[in-house]
Amino acid sequence: MAIVLMLAAGWAAQAQAQAQGPAKSVYRCGNSYSQTPCSGGSEIQVDDARSASQQKQTTDAARRDARSAQEMERERLKLEGKAAPAVIPPPKADPFPEPVASSAKAKKQKYFTAASPRKPKASAAKKTKTAGNDA
């Protein structure tokens, strides 16, 4: 794909250069190139030494590569449209399952009722009895 893009870029640059006509000279200014002279720059001649048949061959190859790239893109888009649905794994088992009631009483009981594991103290029981007798 990168090769196709590079060839297409080269073809576009060549087409632009042909539209402008042959470049007379290019100036090297340090590490960059320009069509206008600069101070301290050197002039470089950039004539295309290829024959007309070689230039036509290059243009034809660039067009062929561009068509091939378009066909590959259409094929890729078609394949992406037919993509298989993503596989979603089933949920894992609940890490905190509800406890299973072992006795019949626990199965019948609808609501949880808290009970103290200690027996009430005798003094508290006596107070309730004496309070009930005084009345």
Burial of 74-112, coded b for 16+ CB within 10 Å and e otherwise, reads eeeeeeeeeeeeeeeeeeeeeeeeeeeeeeeeeeeeeee
Q: Can you give the pLDDT at residue 114? A: 79
Q: Can you give the pLDDT at residue 57? A: 95
pTM for the full predicted model: 0.34
Q: Can you give the pLDDT at residue 54? A: 93
**For 127, left (φ over 0), alpha (ψ -120 to 50), or beta?**
alpha
- Tens-place pLDDT, residues 1-11: 667 666 666 66
Q: Check pLDDT > 60 for residue 106.
A: no
Which carries the bigger pLDDT value, residue 31 or residue 47?
A: 31
Which carries the bigger pLDDT value, residue 119 or residue 16?
A: 119
Q: Can you give the pLDDT at residue 91? A: 80
* Confidence band for 55, pLDDT divided at 50, 70 and 90: very high
